[in-house]
Chain A
Amino acid sequence: MVDAGHHPKINVLTYSELEEVRGFVGNFKVKVKKKPRFVIPEKCNGCGLCVDVCPIEVPNEFDEGTTTRKAIYVPFAQAVPLVYTIDMDACIECFKCIEACGKLEAIDFSQKEEIIELDIGTIIVATGYDIYDPTPIKQYGYGRYPNVLTALELERLLDESGPTMGKLYRPSDMKAPGKVAFIQCVGSRDDIHEYCSGFCCMYTIKNSLILREKYPDLDISIYYMDIRTPSKGYEEFYRRAREEGIKFIQGKPSEIAQDPNNHNLFIYSEDLAKGKAIRDEVDIVILSTAAEPRPDSRTLGSKLGVTSGPSGFYMESHPKLKPIDTPTEGVFIAGSSQGPKDIPYSVAQGSAASSRASRILSSPEWEIEPLIAFVDADKCRNVRKKCGICETRCPYGAIIAPEGKPAYVIGAKCHGCGTCVADCPEGAITQLHYTDVQIVAQIHAILREKPEEKILVFTCHWCSFGAADTAGNSHLKYPPDNRIIKVMCSGRLDRKFIYEAFRIGAGMVLASGCHPQDCHYITGQHHAERRLKAVPKILERAGISPERFSVKWMSASEGQTFSKVMKESSETLKSIGIERIKEENEKAKPELEKRIKTFREDPDVAKILLADEKVDIEA
């Protein structure tokens, strides 16, 4: 901590939050909101006279509410920077602190929020985790029984500089305990959080050993489902605890009851090793509560283009091969924001993240994929009359439509989502590597044989294609009647692709992409959703049953969702039946032909359409 505070290359900005990120790898423009402390760091010498006179007391977050602090405070004695802060939610503005500060004049109530703008090459997200509040688990009585603590509360009580100077007392009567019990997996590996929080076994063993050292006669039990000690030296640590007389009881307690007279606690559990039910009277129960994602992690993630998995923790690019990378190039994740981690693992990930970041930072220039858009100036409508739709579709300001002139793309700013391409009324914009002719060629290839038996699935690169990969990686089976065509963003999905698929006989079409808040291109999904909303009605009017077209949004981690959607679609396809599909397609053909008219104006696309029609006639 102190090293980071003193390092000549590290600028520590505390009491500051990320406001906005723009730009791309190597070239991020970041806005940081610096909240006012109402104390001038350069003038404050940390003497604490202000604290003595402050009349306001609020629960101390650092001590998990086991103590109080003043409205003007430092969170803890070794804080970096050691500068006081006024908590304006608590302050009554009596200004006694100004008086106490006297000649130093370090207190300044006129401070305002400040926005700092930074040019940044790479960003590392290390926002950590939160602790699950076990109050909703009524049977354990946390919040109602004073002698039921969380592990982090115990952690503060054991701290020599903590509220009790490192001594353990029963909170109900401040008497020394004779018997304590820990309960593992509170809110983990259950209906609340499916995952294992990873580090609780080890910190419980650690706390039991600290207690053993301090109180050799204390009776200590640990109720557990499984003890997980896979890292180096951890199993030995567990063995040491057993050798020192800590009792390990395999069983998840069903209930804790309290004797209302003396606040003693009764644990009701089973002991799997002995195969019997037990009732254990103890002084203090410590709940090893789950680690959970920070409540604001999704909001922060959407500013950075970092998505969350089903557990709510940030999703890495690849679970094995890119555990530090995120879908946004130049943005990395470290520590528990990606999933619960202990200290050695977090330190290692910090080093890994710095190494991944330095690959970019050490290069004078960085290569990015050229999947950008360009405008055919001859086709652009903006020359004849004011259009500029493309400009409104681009979240990066990469496409400009000057009055009376054709629109143009600024290559370095274009991220290659293809939203402008799909929304251009003249088909004047092309996205490299995802051109109309390439996609139409794929549609025709897939639907070459028995098209009515197939479900054509359009996915985006980052999320729904990833969901299909996740389904594969997890071997989640589904019927084999679907075929995927990938674009970079659902924003690229031109309605004509869907009409063309049905025109040449598709059984079903499914369009997919990310969830609204997760779009890798900020607004591409939003435009796709708006554009695709009109499709079912148009199809229905043409004679196609509306259930033959659907739109699904899912994240890359949702393999289960992908598999489920494929199963449901397959059932729908079968229930409609090939004959009805053929009939509907035949009926809809003239209307669909009208809808894809502009495809015939593109010579390359027209060639594909004609070639297939010729083959059909010959057949």
Chain B
Amino acid sequence: MEEDLRIGVFVCHCGSNIAGVIDPKKLAERASELPGVVVAKDHGYACSDPGQVLIKDSIKEYNLNRVVVSACSPRLHEPTFRVCVYEAGLNPYLMEMANIREHCTWVHPDYPEEAFEKAFDLIRSAVAKARYLAPLETIKVPVTNKALVIGAGIAGISTALDLGDMGYETYLIEKEPSIGGRMAQLDKTFPTMDCSI
């Protein structure tokens, strides 16, 4: 299995958010020595169009079968990079991220050397996981096209009216005997000074 692995590592600068503390180029150089890694590159903004083109082109050029993106939090950009690798023909679950921004450069600006070692460890960890990633298929579930809105103040009423107008059957539940919420208690409202009800 080991010989078949072709991992690409992409280290993002995120402008100066990452590159202002550690050197992404050096990080990529070190990452290129990790087992299974066939190419490691850096880019100013991995999430930008040119950044994604670099990843997609590299997948094709180096025949990559795993991708590690070392950038921001997967809670932010995992969907972005999953789509990116998918568009280059890779299963989206063969991409792993290393969070070297929120978990590293943003919190360790005073320790650039240690931050570099930590970033490398996070990449090494992501590469290690990537070696064992398997392609996965998303699960498709049916959808009941009815909505439930909890609370019938101004926000809940607005939500329910829009959903109702879109044609969805909507349940609007309110724990008080009447809908209206706080808004109903107000006489006139700013900035138009008209009645709230």
Contacts and interface: CB of A to CB of B under 8 A. Distances in A.
Interface of A: 1, 3-5, 7-18, 24-28, 30, 32, 37, 62, 64, 74-76, 78-81, 83, 85, 118-129, 152, 155-156, 158-160, 162, 166, 202-203, 205-206, 209-210, 233-234, 236-237, 300, 318, 321, 334-337, 341-343, 346-347, 349-351, 353-355, 357-358, 360-372, 411-412, 432-433, 435, 437-439, 441-442, 444-446, 448, 454, 461, 465-466, 468-469, 471-473, 475-486, 563, 604
A234 B133 CA distance: 54
**Prevailing SS type, chain B contact patch:** mixed
17 contacts: A15-B175, A32-B171, A78-B184, A123-B148, A125-B150, A128-B153, A209-B193, A335-B154, A350-B157, A351-B158, A354-B166, A358-B166, A365-B141, A365-B142, A478-B108, A480-B117, A484-B103
Nearest to B112: A480
Given A79-B180, A367-B139, A475-B106, A155 B185 contact: yes
Interface in B121-179: 121-122, 124-129, 131-134, 136-179
Contacts of A127: 150-151, 156
B104 interface: yes
B45 interface: no
**Prevailing SS type, chain A contact patch:** mixed
Q: Closest 10 A-B residue pairs measured CB to CB?
A: A335-B155, A350-B158, A472-B102, A126-B156, A354-B162, A79-B178, A445-B128, A26-B143, A9-B164, A441-B128
B34 to A, nearest CB: 9
A205 B188 CA distance: 12
A4 B177 contact: no
A324 B96 CA distance: 27
A26 B141 CA distance: 7
A128 B162 contact: no
Contacts of A484: 99, 103, 122
Considering residues B109, B138, B163, which has the most beta carbons from chain A within 10 angstroms of its beta carbon? B163
B191 A233 contact: yes
A16 B170 contact: no
Contacts, number: 370
Contacts of B115: 480
A209 B189 CA distance: 11
B181 interface: yes
A70 to B, nearest CB: 13
Contacts of A158: 187-188
B132 to A, nearest CB: 5
Considering residues A128, A300, A355, A478, which has the most beta carbons from chain B within 10 angstroms of its beta carbon? A128
A62 to B, nearest CB: 6
B183 interface: yes
A11 B171 contact: yes
A351 B109 CA distance: 41
Considering residues B143, B169, B197, which has the most beta carbons from chain A within 10 angstroms of its beta carbon? B143
A152 to B, nearest CB: 6
B75 A433 contact: no
B187 to A, nearest CB: 4
Given A9-B164, A12-B152, A442-B125, A124 B103 contact: no
A362 B137 CA distance: 22
Interface residues of B, number: 91
A15 B182 contact: no
A75 B177 contact: yes
A110 B106 CA distance: 63
B144 A27 contact: yes
Considering residues B74, B111, B171, B196, which has the most beta carbons from chain A within 10 angstroms of its beta carbon? B171
Contact of A11 (B111, B127, B140, B172): B172
Given A74-B177, A473-B106, A1 B157 contact: yes
B140 to A, nearest CB: 5
Contacts of B110: 477
A336 B124 contact: no
Given A80-B180, A159-B187, A473-B106, A121 B146 contact: yes
Nearest to B142: A365
B114 interface: yes
Contact of A368 (B117, B138, B160): B138
Given A27-B142, A472-B73, A480-B118, 12 more contacts: A1-B180, A14-B177, A64-B185, A74-B177, A122-B147, A300-B150, A337-B151, A349-B158, A355-B162, A441-B131, A472-B102, A480-B114
Contact of B143 (A8, A156, A360): A360
A441 B99 CA distance: 17
Considering residues B142, B157, B161, which has the most beta carbons from chain A within 10 angstroms of its beta carbon? B157
B173 A442 contact: no
Contacts of A483: 118, 121-122, 125
A118 B74 CA distance: 35
A131 to B, nearest CB: 8
Nearest to A296: B175
Contacts of B74: 486
Contacts of A486: 74
Contacts of A461: 75
A354 B163 contact: yes
Contacts of A349: 155, 158
Nearest to A445: B128
A4 B138 CA distance: 37
B121 A445 contact: yes
